[in-house]
Structure 1
Amino acid sequence: MEKKRIEGLLYPQIYSTFLINGEEFNIQDLTERYYKDALSLLTEYLMPEENFCKSVQIHKNEEAMKGIITSYMKLFEQRMTLACFKKQTGELVAVNVLGITRSGETKDDITDEDMKLLQKSKKFTMQGFDIYDTFKTDHYLNGFGLGVKPNYRGHGISVELLKARIPLMKSLNIRVSGTSFSSIQAQRAAVKAGFTEVASVSYDNVKIAFPKFDFSRAAGTHCKYFILLNE
């Protein structure tokens, strides 16, 4: 059964507060009121910029984007996605899409070839690392994309979003989180937030395995897989 948080049971909540140039920002649960804003942020900024999505221009593929939006809405409904808001104005400035992934799950409903390629390649980047076997679990908190509006970048918002996974995991009694970070900037943020690198693969090797990708404009040389433990 799909794990879903119940409203009123530690949901929604604020996980951290921090200042940027004297202005206060909150990291908190994404609620239904902001689903549309979150989708706009992710499709406008993350899809054209993330290394794998950019390499096949997924944002220009109408069928793929419809599938991505449907998937994001299902993840939002798990009520585990984190968001960053400017407190004074209530503006949504960043989103980290999160959800539970379970052992044995398949995505047989994917029909678009580019989406199938992205799914296969992300598994390839784990380089055989088995999160279920390593931590003796049948589920973990997975990351499905982190986007920050351009005018709010360079202030550590990604780090704050990633740090907030620990209190979220504690409230859900989840031991481990795992995520592929494709850009050098995201990888640096993960390290600052306390994540541990467990797998790495160069884009040259990904290209050999999946020739359709064009990583000529990739931000960084490697895709890396990180885990975060709730201990």
Structure 2
Amino acid sequence: MGSWTRPPTVAYPRVWLTFESRDVDEPVGSGRLVKYRVQDLPLERVEDAIEHMKKFFLRDEPMCSSVGLYKDPVGLEEFSELWRKVAAQKCAVVCFREGSDEIVGLNMLTVVSKDSPKEYKFKSAGLQMVTESYGGILKQAEIFEKYNVDHYLSAWGLSVSPKYRGRGVATELLRARIPLCRAMGLRVTVTLFSHPGSQIPAAKVGFYDEIVVTYQQLAEQGYHFPGVTHELNKLMTMTVE
């Protein structure tokens, strides 16, 4: 994951923001609101978080779903190990509903450093194609040079439990990066958003397009993701002062 470590002065686990939205099973238009919080993912919940990501993220994220990672035993184990390394950085965030320890949503945040691996090698052909295509887009952006930073915040997956969707949870998980970056001394956060369901909330909280490619362009480069029903894949950036 690189040389970056969480500053010892930043308490862990820490709540980054709270918000109000509908309770579980409350219909749209209901006036009954409950509190939610976005906080650091506790180390004792890492395996629960990985199970959530395997169950929901790998089926929902267009590229991962297209190559069938959710049913690839080798890919599942390799991605799980990657998520464990991500969680060890103590940057991943989780959303909980007040009075419940059920995982509402997750953002598997990671800090990328100049000395982080530039390429990943996996036994799973599907996972290798996903990471190679992402790496190619990232290489075009030249984030370290453009923004003159040694580290930036990125992510290996954003997911909201299906029964909590439509409550603005993804937006708040992304918004939590602002206080997190400020506390950690990070000025830039960059993520590949592969679906409008994440691109739209990212734009709401201040992300802007860094590199935009079509899935057709990826196919022309040898990265085929059959069955994806939308056009654009966006590397998006937000700067935090």
Q: CA deviation at 1:125?
A: 3.2
1:69 is the counterpart of 2:70: no
| Counterpart AA for 2:20 | L
Residue 25 (structure 2) aligns with: none
Q: Provide the C-alpha distance between the structure 1 equivalents of 2:81 and 2:221, rounded to a whole number of angstroms.
A: 28
CA gap 1:8/1:129 in 2 versus in 1, 3 angstroms: closer
Q: Give the CA deviation at 1:6.
A: 6.2
Q: Does 1:54 align with 2:80?
A: no
1:162-204 per-position Cα deviation (integer Å, ceiling 9, x unaligned): 0110111111101111000000111001001111111100111
* Structure 2 gap ranges (5+): 23-32
Aligned positions, number: 229
Which residue, out of 33, 53, 56, partners 1:45?
56
The residue aligned with 1:84 is 95
Task: Name the residue aligned to 1:124.
Answer: 136
Contact 1:127 1:201 in 2 (8 A): no
Unaligned 5+ runs, structure 1: none
Match of 1:112 among 96, 99, 124: 124
Of stretches 104-113 and 35-44 in structure 1, the one that deviates more from structure 2 is 104-113
Give the 3 Å change call, closer, same or farther, for CA 108–180 of structure 1 in structure 2: closer
Q: Is the 8 A contact 2:63 2:228 kept in 1?
A: no
Alignment of 1:188 with 2:218, yes or no, is no
Distance in 1 between residues matched to 2:139 and 2:195, nearest whole Å: 17
Residues 137 and 211 in structure 2, CA contact (< 8 A), matched pair in contact too: yes
Q: 1:135 aligns with which of 147, 156, 162?
A: 147
Identity %: 26
Which of the residues 212, 227, 230 maps onto 2:237?
227
Q: Normalising by structure 2, what TM-score?
A: 0.89
* Amino acid in the other structure paired with 1:141: L
Q: Which moved more, 1:98-107 or 1:182-191?
A: 98-107
Indicate conservation of the 8 Å contact 2:21/2:168, yes or no: no
CA distance in 1, matches of 2:131, 2:120: 11
Residue aligning to 1:102: 113
Shift of 1:100: 1.2
Query: Which residue pairs with 1:163 in the alignment?
Result: 175
CA RMSD of aligned residues (A): 1.8
